[in-house]
Structure 1
Amino acid sequence: MDKPIKVVIVDDHQVVLDGFIARLQLEDGIDVVGTASNGLEAVDAAKQLRPDVVLMDISMPLMNGIDATRLIKEELPQIKVLMLTMHDSREYIMNVMQAGAVGYMLKEISAEKMVQAIKTVNQGSTYFCESVTQTLFSQEVIPAAQKPNPLSRREAAVLKLVAQGHSSKKIAVLLNISYRTVETHRQNIKHKLDLHSTAELAKYALEQGVVDS
Protein backbone atom coordinates (compact mmCIF):
# COMPACT_ATOMS: atom_id res chain seq x y z
CA MET A 1 0.00 0.00 0.00
CA ASP A 2 1.32 3.45 -0.94
CA LYS A 3 2.23 5.84 1.86
CA PRO A 4 -0.24 8.71 2.34
CA ILE A 5 0.75 12.08 0.91
CA LYS A 6 1.93 14.33 3.74
CA VAL A 7 0.36 17.79 3.46
CA VAL A 8 0.87 21.08 5.30
CA ILE A 9 -1.89 23.70 4.91
CA VAL A 10 -1.04 27.41 5.13
CA ASP A 11 -3.72 30.07 5.59
CA ASP A 12 -4.15 33.01 7.96
CA HIS A 13 -7.84 32.32 8.60
CA GLN A 14 -8.54 29.56 11.12
CA VAL A 15 -12.01 28.90 9.71
CA VAL A 16 -10.48 28.29 6.28
CA LEU A 17 -7.81 26.02 7.77
CA ASP A 18 -10.44 24.01 9.61
CA GLY A 19 -12.48 23.66 6.45
CA PHE A 20 -9.55 22.40 4.39
CA ILE A 21 -8.52 19.96 7.11
CA ALA A 22 -12.07 18.61 7.32
CA ARG A 23 -12.11 18.09 3.55
CA LEU A 24 -8.80 16.28 3.40
CA GLN A 25 -9.22 14.11 6.51
CA LEU A 26 -11.83 12.15 4.59
CA GLU A 27 -9.17 10.98 2.13
CA ASP A 28 -7.30 7.77 2.94
CA GLY A 29 -4.34 8.72 0.76
CA ILE A 30 -3.74 12.16 2.32
CA ASP A 31 -2.37 12.95 5.78
CA VAL A 32 -2.51 16.57 7.03
CA VAL A 33 0.65 16.70 9.16
CA GLY A 34 0.57 20.40 10.07
CA THR A 35 -0.73 23.92 9.49
CA ALA A 36 0.66 27.45 9.46
CA SER A 37 -0.96 30.88 9.55
CA ASN A 38 1.73 32.97 7.81
CA GLY A 39 4.70 32.62 5.50
CA LEU A 40 7.31 32.44 8.26
CA GLU A 41 5.45 29.63 9.98
CA ALA A 42 5.06 27.89 6.62
CA VAL A 43 8.83 27.84 6.08
CA ASP A 44 9.41 26.51 9.61
CA ALA A 45 6.72 23.86 9.17
CA ALA A 46 8.25 22.74 5.88
CA LYS A 47 11.67 22.36 7.50
CA GLN A 48 10.38 20.50 10.55
CA LEU A 49 7.68 18.31 9.02
CA ARG A 50 9.13 17.68 5.53
CA PRO A 51 5.71 17.34 3.84
CA ASP A 52 5.28 16.11 0.29
CA VAL A 53 2.93 18.97 -0.60
CA VAL A 54 2.30 22.42 0.89
CA LEU A 55 -1.07 24.08 0.22
CA MET A 56 -0.10 27.76 0.30
CA ASP A 57 -2.20 30.91 0.54
CA ILE A 58 -0.79 34.13 -0.97
CA SER A 59 -1.96 37.10 1.14
CA MET A 60 -0.78 36.58 4.72
CA PRO A 61 0.84 38.63 7.51
CA LEU A 62 4.60 38.67 8.29
CA MET A 63 5.50 36.95 5.01
CA ASN A 64 3.33 36.36 1.96
CA GLY A 65 2.93 32.99 0.27
CA ILE A 66 5.05 33.90 -2.76
CA ASP A 67 8.12 34.75 -0.66
CA ALA A 68 7.52 31.70 1.53
CA THR A 69 7.32 29.49 -1.55
CA ARG A 70 10.60 30.90 -2.86
CA LEU A 71 12.37 30.15 0.45
CA ILE A 72 10.94 26.65 0.71
CA LYS A 73 11.97 25.78 -2.85
CA GLU A 74 15.47 27.13 -2.33
CA GLU A 75 16.06 25.10 0.83
CA LEU A 76 13.81 22.09 0.23
CA PRO A 77 13.37 21.78 -3.55
CA GLN A 78 11.76 18.34 -3.29
CA ILE A 79 8.65 19.78 -1.61
CA LYS A 80 5.79 20.56 -3.99
CA VAL A 81 4.03 23.89 -3.34
CA LEU A 82 0.44 24.20 -4.52
CA MET A 83 -1.10 27.66 -4.27
CA LEU A 84 -4.64 27.87 -2.94
CA THR A 85 -5.88 31.45 -3.11
CA MET A 86 -8.63 33.91 -4.01
CA HIS A 87 -6.38 35.80 -6.46
CA ASP A 88 -6.83 34.90 -10.12
CA SER A 89 -4.89 37.70 -11.86
CA ARG A 90 -2.22 36.82 -14.41
CA GLU A 91 0.38 38.81 -12.44
CA TYR A 92 -0.14 36.73 -9.30
CA ILE A 93 -0.07 33.48 -11.26
CA MET A 94 3.20 34.36 -13.02
CA ASN A 95 4.85 35.52 -9.79
CA VAL A 96 3.83 32.30 -8.06
CA MET A 97 5.23 30.08 -10.82
CA GLN A 98 8.49 32.04 -10.87
CA ALA A 99 8.77 31.44 -7.11
CA GLY A 100 8.70 27.69 -7.74
CA ALA A 101 5.11 26.62 -7.18
CA VAL A 102 3.90 23.70 -9.30
CA GLY A 103 0.18 24.40 -9.17
CA TYR A 104 -2.43 27.10 -8.69
CA MET A 105 -6.06 26.77 -7.72
CA LEU A 106 -8.76 29.05 -6.35
CA LYS A 107 -10.38 28.51 -2.95
CA GLU A 108 -13.73 27.91 -4.59
CA ILE A 109 -12.39 24.61 -5.96
CA SER A 110 -14.35 21.46 -5.09
CA ALA A 111 -13.02 18.94 -2.59
CA GLU A 112 -12.63 16.37 -5.37
CA LYS A 113 -10.57 18.74 -7.51
CA MET A 114 -8.42 19.71 -4.51
CA VAL A 115 -7.59 16.06 -3.86
CA GLN A 116 -6.87 15.57 -7.56
CA ALA A 117 -4.54 18.59 -7.52
CA ILE A 118 -2.60 17.30 -4.51
CA LYS A 119 -2.15 13.87 -6.09
CA THR A 120 -1.19 15.39 -9.45
CA VAL A 121 1.59 17.62 -8.13
CA ASN A 122 2.83 14.90 -5.77
CA GLN A 123 3.41 12.71 -8.82
CA GLY A 124 5.60 15.38 -10.40
CA SER A 125 3.12 17.14 -12.69
CA THR A 126 1.67 20.65 -12.58
CA TYR A 127 -1.95 21.53 -11.83
CA PHE A 128 -4.02 24.60 -12.71
CA CYS A 129 -7.72 24.86 -12.08
CA GLU A 130 -9.87 25.70 -15.11
CA SER A 131 -10.38 29.39 -14.37
CA VAL A 132 -6.63 29.91 -13.84
CA THR A 133 -5.91 28.18 -17.15
CA GLN A 134 -8.38 30.52 -18.86
CA THR A 135 -6.68 33.53 -17.26
CA LEU A 136 -3.27 32.38 -18.46
CA PHE A 137 -4.26 31.64 -22.03
CA SER A 138 -6.87 34.33 -22.64
CA GLN A 139 -4.19 37.01 -22.83
CA GLU A 140 -1.31 37.54 -25.20
CA VAL A 141 1.60 35.19 -24.67
CA ILE A 142 4.81 36.90 -23.57
CA PRO A 143 7.58 36.60 -26.20
CA ALA A 144 10.44 34.35 -25.11
CA ALA A 145 12.90 37.26 -25.07
CA GLN A 146 10.74 39.11 -22.53
CA LYS A 147 10.14 36.19 -20.19
CA PRO A 148 11.60 36.62 -16.70
CA ASN A 149 14.28 34.27 -15.43
CA PRO A 150 12.36 31.18 -14.21
CA LEU A 151 15.12 30.08 -11.82
CA SER A 152 15.24 30.77 -8.11
CA ARG A 153 18.33 32.44 -6.66
CA ARG A 154 19.63 29.09 -5.40
CA GLU A 155 19.04 27.44 -8.78
CA ALA A 156 20.84 30.31 -10.50
CA ALA A 157 23.79 29.84 -8.14
CA VAL A 158 23.88 26.11 -8.90
CA LEU A 159 23.65 26.78 -12.65
CA LYS A 160 26.56 29.22 -12.50
CA LEU A 161 28.77 26.66 -10.73
CA VAL A 162 27.70 23.89 -13.13
CA ALA A 163 28.62 26.13 -16.06
CA GLN A 164 32.01 26.78 -14.46
CA GLY A 165 32.67 23.06 -14.56
CA HIS A 166 32.18 22.14 -10.90
CA SER A 167 30.86 18.70 -9.96
CA SER A 168 27.74 18.26 -7.82
CA LYS A 169 29.94 17.23 -4.87
CA LYS A 170 32.02 20.40 -5.21
CA ILE A 171 28.89 22.55 -5.56
CA ALA A 172 27.46 20.98 -2.41
CA VAL A 173 30.60 22.04 -0.50
CA LEU A 174 30.67 25.54 -2.00
CA LEU A 175 27.00 26.24 -1.24
CA ASN A 176 26.96 24.31 2.06
CA ILE A 177 24.08 22.08 0.99
CA SER A 178 23.78 18.34 0.51
CA TYR A 179 24.80 16.48 -2.65
CA ARG A 180 21.21 15.25 -3.00
CA THR A 181 19.89 18.83 -2.86
CA VAL A 182 22.32 19.88 -5.58
CA GLU A 183 21.14 17.01 -7.79
CA THR A 184 17.51 17.99 -7.17
CA HIS A 185 18.30 21.60 -8.14
CA ARG A 186 20.01 20.39 -11.32
CA GLN A 187 16.95 18.34 -12.29
CA ASN A 188 14.63 21.28 -11.55
CA ILE A 189 16.81 23.60 -13.66
CA LYS A 190 16.76 21.17 -16.59
CA HIS A 191 12.98 20.80 -16.27
CA LYS A 192 12.33 24.57 -16.10
CA LEU A 193 14.63 25.35 -19.02
CA ASP A 194 13.82 22.22 -21.04
CA LEU A 195 17.51 21.34 -21.23
CA HIS A 196 18.93 17.84 -21.08
CA SER A 197 22.69 17.91 -20.58
CA THR A 198 25.45 19.73 -18.71
CA ALA A 199 26.68 21.14 -22.02
CA GLU A 200 23.25 22.66 -22.72
CA LEU A 201 23.17 24.14 -19.21
CA ALA A 202 26.60 25.72 -19.76
CA LYS A 203 25.52 27.13 -23.13
CA TYR A 204 22.36 28.62 -21.59
CA ALA A 205 24.41 30.18 -18.77
CA LEU A 206 26.74 31.83 -21.30
CA GLU A 207 23.89 33.11 -23.45
CA GLN A 208 22.10 34.59 -20.44
CA GLY A 209 25.24 36.15 -19.00
CA VAL A 210 25.18 33.97 -15.89
CA VAL A 211 28.88 33.30 -16.48
CA ASP A 212 31.41 35.19 -18.58
CA SER A 213 32.47 33.73 -21.91
Structure 2
Amino acid sequence: MPRVLIVDDHAVVRKGIAAILASKEGWQIVGEATNGNETIALVKALKPDIAILDYSIPPTNGAELLRECLLVHPTMQALLFTMHSEDTVILNALQAGARGVLFKGEQSDLLNEALETIARGEPFLRGRVGELALNAWLHGATSDKAALTTRETEVLRHLAKGFSGKETAQLLGISPKTVEIHRSSVRRKLNLRNLVELVHYAIRVHLIDP
Protein backbone atom coordinates (compact mmCIF):
# COMPACT_ATOMS: atom_id res chain seq x y z
CA MET A 1 0.00 0.00 0.00
CA PRO A 2 1.94 3.08 -1.20
CA ARG A 3 1.80 5.97 1.26
CA VAL A 4 1.90 9.35 -0.50
CA LEU A 5 2.79 12.89 0.57
CA ILE A 6 1.46 15.75 -1.62
CA VAL A 7 3.56 18.94 -1.68
CA ASP A 8 2.13 21.98 -3.48
CA ASP A 9 1.29 25.50 -2.35
CA HIS A 10 -1.92 25.61 -4.41
CA ALA A 11 -4.97 24.00 -2.80
CA VAL A 12 -6.65 23.30 -6.15
CA VAL A 13 -3.65 21.27 -7.31
CA ARG A 14 -3.53 19.27 -4.08
CA LYS A 15 -7.25 18.53 -4.38
CA GLY A 16 -6.82 17.39 -7.97
CA ILE A 17 -3.99 15.02 -7.07
CA ALA A 18 -5.95 13.75 -4.07
CA ALA A 19 -8.95 13.00 -6.29
CA ILE A 20 -6.81 10.91 -8.60
CA LEU A 21 -5.21 9.04 -5.69
CA ALA A 22 -8.63 8.39 -4.16
CA SER A 23 -9.50 6.31 -7.21
CA LYS A 24 -6.42 4.11 -6.78
CA GLU A 25 -7.19 1.08 -4.63
CA GLY A 26 -4.73 0.56 -1.79
CA TRP A 27 -3.08 3.98 -2.11
CA GLN A 28 -3.07 6.23 0.93
CA ILE A 29 -2.50 9.99 1.28
CA VAL A 30 -0.61 10.40 4.55
CA GLY A 31 -0.19 14.18 4.43
CA GLU A 32 -0.18 17.43 2.49
CA ALA A 33 2.35 20.26 2.71
CA THR A 34 2.44 23.80 1.32
CA ASN A 35 6.05 24.80 2.04
CA GLY A 36 9.51 23.43 2.73
CA ASN A 37 9.33 23.45 6.52
CA GLU A 38 6.04 21.54 6.57
CA THR A 39 7.42 19.06 4.06
CA ILE A 40 10.56 18.24 6.05
CA ALA A 41 8.54 17.83 9.25
CA LEU A 42 6.06 15.46 7.58
CA VAL A 43 8.77 13.43 5.87
CA LYS A 44 10.52 12.95 9.22
CA ALA A 45 7.32 12.04 11.03
CA LEU A 46 5.48 9.99 8.41
CA LYS A 47 8.21 8.41 6.24
CA PRO A 48 6.07 8.36 3.05
CA ASP A 49 6.86 5.93 0.26
CA ILE A 50 6.25 8.52 -2.45
CA ALA A 51 6.25 12.32 -2.52
CA ILE A 52 4.64 14.35 -5.28
CA LEU A 53 6.40 17.72 -5.27
CA ASP A 54 5.92 20.99 -7.08
CA TYR A 55 9.10 22.84 -8.08
CA SER A 56 8.02 26.27 -6.83
CA ILE A 57 7.95 25.56 -3.12
CA PRO A 58 8.82 28.39 -0.72
CA PRO A 59 11.28 29.26 0.68
CA THR A 60 13.51 27.28 -1.73
CA ASN A 61 12.60 25.04 -4.70
CA GLY A 62 11.57 21.45 -5.24
CA ALA A 63 15.09 20.23 -6.06
CA GLU A 64 16.72 21.66 -2.94
CA LEU A 65 13.79 20.53 -0.83
CA LEU A 66 14.07 17.01 -2.21
CA ARG A 67 17.76 16.90 -1.28
CA GLU A 68 16.84 17.75 2.31
CA CYS A 69 14.06 15.16 2.34
CA LEU A 70 16.34 12.40 1.12
CA LEU A 71 18.81 13.16 3.87
CA VAL A 72 16.19 12.26 6.48
CA HIS A 73 14.38 9.56 4.44
CA PRO A 74 16.70 8.18 1.71
CA THR A 75 14.30 5.48 0.42
CA MET A 76 11.49 7.89 -0.46
CA GLN A 77 10.59 7.99 -4.15
CA ALA A 78 9.77 11.41 -5.58
CA LEU A 79 7.83 12.65 -8.60
CA LEU A 80 8.28 16.29 -9.62
CA PHE A 81 4.88 17.58 -10.76
CA THR A 82 5.38 21.06 -12.14
CA MET A 83 4.37 23.69 -14.66
CA HIS A 84 8.04 24.55 -15.28
CA SER A 85 9.48 22.80 -18.34
CA GLU A 86 12.91 24.47 -18.52
CA ASP A 87 15.86 22.11 -19.00
CA THR A 88 17.57 23.44 -15.87
CA VAL A 89 14.51 22.68 -13.73
CA ILE A 90 14.29 19.12 -15.04
CA LEU A 91 18.00 18.43 -14.63
CA ASN A 92 18.12 19.99 -11.16
CA ALA A 93 15.25 17.76 -10.08
CA LEU A 94 16.83 14.61 -11.49
CA GLN A 95 20.21 15.45 -9.96
CA ALA A 96 18.48 15.99 -6.62
CA GLY A 97 17.07 12.47 -6.76
CA ALA A 98 13.64 12.73 -8.42
CA ARG A 99 12.54 9.44 -9.96
CA GLY A 100 10.33 11.15 -12.49
CA VAL A 101 9.12 14.48 -13.89
CA LEU A 102 5.58 15.21 -15.05
CA PHE A 103 4.23 18.54 -16.25
CA LYS A 104 0.99 20.00 -14.94
CA GLY A 105 -1.62 20.14 -17.66
CA GLU A 106 -0.80 16.69 -19.03
CA GLN A 107 -3.53 14.07 -19.00
CA SER A 108 -4.48 12.64 -15.61
CA ASP A 109 -3.83 9.09 -16.80
CA LEU A 110 -0.15 10.05 -17.13
CA LEU A 111 -0.07 10.89 -13.41
CA ASN A 112 -1.48 7.44 -12.73
CA GLU A 113 1.15 5.89 -14.98
CA ALA A 114 3.94 7.91 -13.38
CA LEU A 115 2.91 6.92 -9.85
CA GLU A 116 2.55 3.23 -10.73
CA THR A 117 5.96 3.27 -12.42
CA ILE A 118 7.68 4.95 -9.48
CA ALA A 119 5.93 2.66 -6.99
CA ARG A 120 7.56 -0.28 -8.80
CA GLY A 121 10.95 1.32 -8.19
CA GLU A 122 11.38 2.34 -11.83
CA PRO A 123 12.10 5.84 -13.18
CA PHE A 124 9.40 7.69 -15.11
CA LEU A 125 11.21 9.64 -17.84
CA ARG A 126 9.09 10.29 -20.91
CA GLY A 127 9.80 12.30 -24.05
CA ARG A 128 12.12 15.28 -23.62
CA VAL A 129 12.67 14.47 -19.94
CA GLY A 130 14.10 11.10 -20.93
CA GLU A 131 16.30 12.68 -23.59
CA LEU A 132 17.70 15.18 -21.10
CA ALA A 133 18.35 12.44 -18.56
CA LEU A 134 20.14 10.31 -21.17
CA ASN A 135 22.30 13.20 -22.38
CA ALA A 136 23.18 14.12 -18.80
CA TRP A 137 24.14 10.51 -18.06
CA LEU A 138 26.27 10.24 -21.21
CA HIS A 139 28.03 13.50 -20.32
CA GLY A 140 28.51 12.38 -16.76
CA ALA A 141 29.91 9.04 -17.94
CA THR A 142 32.82 10.88 -19.55
CA SER A 143 33.28 13.44 -16.80
CA ASP A 144 31.96 12.86 -13.28
CA LYS A 145 32.78 16.49 -12.52
CA ALA A 146 29.94 17.45 -14.87
CA ALA A 147 27.47 15.57 -12.65
CA LEU A 148 27.88 18.17 -9.91
CA THR A 149 25.88 21.39 -9.81
CA THR A 150 27.74 24.70 -9.72
CA ARG A 151 27.02 25.13 -6.00
CA GLU A 152 28.13 21.57 -5.22
CA THR A 153 31.39 22.23 -7.01
CA GLU A 154 31.94 25.42 -5.00
CA VAL A 155 31.29 23.59 -1.72
CA LEU A 156 33.61 20.76 -2.76
CA ARG A 157 36.40 23.20 -3.61
CA HIS A 158 36.18 25.03 -0.28
CA LEU A 159 36.02 21.87 1.80
CA ALA A 160 38.95 20.38 -0.10
CA LYS A 161 40.95 23.54 0.64
CA GLY A 162 40.47 22.85 4.34
CA PHE A 163 37.65 25.25 5.20
CA SER A 164 35.15 23.98 7.77
CA GLY A 165 31.47 23.68 6.96
CA LYS A 166 30.76 26.88 8.90
CA GLU A 167 33.56 28.77 7.13
CA THR A 168 32.36 27.49 3.75
CA ALA A 169 28.85 28.70 4.55
CA GLN A 170 30.12 32.18 5.41
CA LEU A 171 32.26 32.41 2.29
CA LEU A 172 29.43 31.32 -0.01
CA GLY A 173 26.69 33.22 1.79
CA ILE A 174 24.61 30.14 2.57
CA SER A 175 23.66 28.32 5.76
CA PRO A 176 25.79 25.56 7.35
CA LYS A 177 22.82 23.22 6.87
CA THR A 178 22.85 23.92 3.13
CA VAL A 179 26.59 23.22 3.02
CA GLU A 180 25.97 19.86 4.68
CA ILE A 181 23.25 19.04 2.14
CA HIS A 182 25.63 19.79 -0.73
CA ARG A 183 28.47 17.87 0.96
CA SER A 184 26.24 14.80 1.29
CA SER A 185 25.10 15.13 -2.32
CA VAL A 186 28.71 15.35 -3.56
CA ARG A 187 29.75 12.29 -1.55
CA ARG A 188 26.74 10.34 -2.84
CA LYS A 189 27.23 11.30 -6.49
CA LEU A 190 30.97 10.67 -6.52
CA ASN A 191 31.00 7.77 -4.04
CA LEU A 192 33.47 9.52 -1.73
CA ARG A 193 33.69 7.96 1.73
CA ASN A 194 35.65 10.61 3.66
CA LEU A 195 37.45 13.96 3.50
CA VAL A 196 40.71 12.40 2.28
CA GLU A 197 38.98 10.93 -0.79
CA LEU A 198 37.21 14.26 -1.33
CA VAL A 199 40.57 16.10 -1.36
CA HIS A 200 42.15 13.54 -3.69
CA TYR A 201 39.22 13.89 -6.09
CA ALA A 202 39.45 17.70 -6.05
CA ILE A 203 43.16 17.49 -6.91
CA ARG A 204 42.53 14.93 -9.66
CA VAL A 205 40.01 17.13 -11.46
CA HIS A 206 42.10 20.28 -10.87
CA LEU A 207 39.67 22.02 -8.51
CA ILE A 208 42.57 22.70 -6.16
CA ASP A 209 46.35 22.55 -6.47
CA PRO A 210 48.18 19.59 -4.91
- Which residue pairs with 2:146 in the alignment? 147
Give the direction of change, closer, same or farther, for the CA distance of 1:204–1:120 in structure 2 (3 Å limit): farther
1 CA distance for matches of 2:131 and 2:63? 21
8 Å contact from structure 2 (residues 91, 132) kept in 1:
no
1 CA distance for matches of 2:97 and 2:43? 14
- For residue 128 of structure 1, give the secondary structure of its aligned residue in structure 2: coil
Give the direction of change, closer, same or farther, for the CA distance of 1:94–1:138 in structure 2 (3 Å limit): closer
Equivalent runs, 1:1-213 vs 2, <5 Å: 4-134=1-131, 142=139, 144=143, 146-149=145-148, 189=188, 206-207=200-201
2 CA distance for matches of 1:42 and 1:69? 9
Q: CA deviation at 1:115?
A: 1.8
2 CA distance for matches of 1:43 and 1:65? 12
Give the direction of change, closer, same or farther, for the CA distance of 1:137–1:125 in structure 2 (3 Å limit): closer
Identity %: 29
- For residue 147 of structure 2, give the secondary structure of its aligned residue in structure 1: coil
8 Å contact from structure 2 (residues 51, 76) kept in 1:
yes
Structure number with the higher helix fraction is 2
Q: Tell me how large the CA RMSD over aligned residues is.
A: 3.8
After superposition, the C-alpha distances for 1:54-74 in whole angstroms (9 at most, x for unaligned) are: 000011222321221010111
2 CA distance for matches of 1:102 and 1:95? 12
Structure 1 counterpart of 2:79, one-letter code: L
8 Å contact from structure 1 (residues 5, 52) kept in 2:
yes
Task: Compare 103-112 and 52-61 and name the one that shifted more.
Answer: 103-112
Q: CA deviation at 1:122?
A: 2.3
8 Å contact from structure 1 (residues 39, 67) kept in 2:
no
Q: Give the TM-score taking structure 2 as reference length.
A: 0.66
Q: Which runs of 4+ in 1 moved over 3 A?
A: 134-139, 202-209
8 Å contact from structure 2 (residues 43, 72) kept in 1:
no
- For residue 127 of structure 1, give the secondary structure of its aligned residue in structure 2: coil
2 CA distance for matches of 1:203 and 1:119? 39
After superposition, the C-alpha distances for 1:117-146 in whole angstroms (9 at most, x for unaligned) are: 12222222211233423555689x645255
8 Å contact from structure 1 (residues 39, 62) kept in 2:
yes
Q: Give the TM-score taking structure 1 as reference length.
A: 0.65
Structure 1 counterpart of 2:106, one-letter code: I
- For residue 101 of structure 1, give the secondary structure of its aligned residue in structure 2: coil
8 Å contact from structure 2 (residues 21, 29) kept in 1:
yes
1 CA distance for matches of 2:26 and 2:146? 37
1 CA distance for matches of 2:111 and 2:43? 20
8 Å contact from structure 1 (residues 40, 63) kept in 2:
no
Q: CA deviation at 1:34?
A: 1.0
Structure 1 counterpart of 2:67, one-letter code: R
**Structure 1 unpaired stretches of 5+:** 154-184
